C-alpha cells in the first residue's frame, strides 16, 4: 500500500516570485520523497519517511539564508540545518546497519 497521507498538499502553479518558487520546489521534492511503500516495520518506515522530511526542512532553511533578512530567523535557519543534517546522518547509519 502506497503512502498517500500528503495527497492534500496540492501543487501550486509556478510562481514568478523566486522565494515562493524556491519554497514550492522544496515542498514538492519533500512530499514526493516522503511517498514511500510501507514495509510494516515501524522503525524502518519512520526513518525512511523522516529523512526526506528533514531534507525538506534543510532546503526551506536554505531559502531563508538566500532570501531572508531577519537575523533571528537566519540564525534559526542555520541551527535547523545543522540539527537536521546530524539527524539525517544518524538515521542513515541506522538504516545501513
Is 80 among the domain residues? yes
Expressed as residue numbers, the domain containing 26 is 18-96
Q: Is 37 within a domain?
A: yes
- Would residue 1 count as lying in a domain? no
Per-residue pLDDT at 8 exceeds 90:
no
pLDDT for the residue numbered 76: 98
Which of 4-13, 14-23, 63-72 shows the highest mean pLDDT? 63-72
pLDDT for position 55: 97
**pLDDT at residue 12, rounded to an integer:** 62
According to the 3-state scheme, what is the secondary structure of the chain?
Answer: CECCHHHHCCCCCCCCCHHHHHHHHHHHHHHHHHCCECCCCHHHHHHHHHHHHHHHHHHHHHHHHHHCCCHHHHHHHHHHHHHHHHHHHHHHHHHHC
Question: Is residue 42 predicted with pLDDT exceeding 90?
Answer: yes
Q: How confident is the prediction for the chain on average, in pLDDT?
A: 90
In a domain, 13, yes or no: no
Tally of domains within the chain = 1
Domain assignment present for residue 2? The answer is no
Amino acid at each position: 500500500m502506497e503512502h498517500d497521507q500528503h495527497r492534500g498538499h496540492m501543487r501550486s502553479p509556478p510562481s514568478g516570485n523566486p522565494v515562493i518558487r524556491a519554497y514550492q520546489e522544496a515542498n514538492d521534492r519533500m512530499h514526493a520523497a516522503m511517498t514511500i511503500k510501507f514495509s510494516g516495520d515501524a522503525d524502518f518506515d519512520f526513518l525512511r519517511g523522516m529523512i526526506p522530511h528533514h531534507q525538506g526542512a534543510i532546503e526551506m532553511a536554505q531559502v531563508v539564508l538566500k532570501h531572508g533578512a531577519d537575523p533571528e530567523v537566519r540564525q534559526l535557519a542555520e541551527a535547523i540545518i545543522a540539527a537536521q543534517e546530524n539527524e539525517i546522518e544518524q538515521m542513515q547509519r541506522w538504516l545501513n546497519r
